Amino acid sequence: MMLSIKSVAKNFGGVKAVNKCSFDIEENKITALIGPNGAGKTTLFNIISGLIGIDKGTIKLQNENITNLQPHKIANLGISRTFQLTKVFRNMSIKDNMLLAKHTSEEEIKKILDSVYLHKPLDTFASELSYGQQRLLEIARALLMPHSLLMLDEPTAGVNPKIRQELKLILKNLKKEGKTVLLIEHDMDFVMSVSDTIVVLNQGRVLKIGNPKQVVKDKKVLEAYLGK
C-alpha cells in the first residue's frame, strides 16, 4: 500500500473531528475522499501532511511510520499536496513559484506547465493569472516536487467550467501514467469520472469504501452525503 491509515483519531475540545478512521491508499490509483461538510476530510488531509498532530492511531507511507512527523519531513518522504484555498506567491513569477518546489531547468518547468494546460510565459506574475490558472499553477508546483503521493484538496473549487474540464483531463492523464493520487472533491460527476476508489467520511468516521458504482448506490451514502 502507498498509504495506510489505522484507527486515527483527532479531537478539538469535545468535537471528534476524526474518529477511529482507517483506510488504505493503493499505489498507482486515484482515491477520492468525499463526505458532507464537517465530515473531517480536510482535517485528515492536514493530519496526513503533518500540519495537525493526531491523538491516536498510526499513518504509514510505504510502510514507513510518518505519524506526527513535521510537515517538511513528510514532504521529503514523498507527499506533495495542494490546499483548499490556493496558495501561490502572487508577487512572484510562474517560474519562481515553480522553483520553490524544485530547482530545475526551464524545459522541465514548461513540460509540467503544459501537462496542466497552463500556457503562459514563465515571467508572468501569479497575480496576473485568473483564480483557476493559479489553481493550475499550484497543481503544477505540486507535480514538480519529487513525490510518491499527490494530495489535492478540492481542486475544482471556485474554478470555471473550462478549468474544471482541464482538471478532469489532468487527473485522467495522471491515472494513465500510474500516479498515486488522493483528492478531496465535492463535485460528484468529477469524482465518478476520475476515481478508482472512493472513501466516504461522515462525522469523522469511514462510512463506505468502494468503487464509484458501489458508492453511488449505497443507501447510507445517499442519506449522509446526498441528503436522500
For the cut 60, the answer to whether the pLDDT of residue 139 exceeds it is yes
pLDDT at 217: 87
Selection from 4, 20, 26, 32 nearest residue 214 by Cα = 32
Condensed to tens digits (0 to 9), the pLDDT of residues 46-57 reads 999 999 999 999
Asked whether the beta carbons of 202 and 36 are under 8 A apart, the reply is yes
Q: What pTM was estimated for this model as a whole?
A: 0.92
Phi/psi of residue 96, nearest 5 degrees: -65, -35
Grid cell listed for 214: 458501489
| Contacts with 6 (C-beta within 8 Å, 6 or more apart), sequence order | 22, 57, 58, 59, 60
Q: Is 73 exposed, middle or buried (0-12, 13-18, 19+ CB in 10 A)?
A: exposed
pLDDT for 223:
81
Residues ≥6 apart with Cβ < 8 Å to 111: none
Q: Which CATH class is domain 3-78+147-224?
A: alpha beta
Task: Report which of 151, 180, 184, 153 is spatially closest to residue 75, judged by C-alpha positions.
Answer: 151
Distances (CA, A) of 170 to 82, 139, 149, 193, 194: 14, 10, 15, 12, 10
Residue ranges per domain, the chain? 3-78+147-224, 88-145
Q: Look at residue 225 in the predicted model and tell me its pLDDT.
A: 62
184 pLDDT band, cuts 50/70/90, is: very high
The partner residues of 8 in beta bridges, in order of sequence, read: 21
Is the distance from CB of 99 to CB of 112 less than 8 angstroms?
no
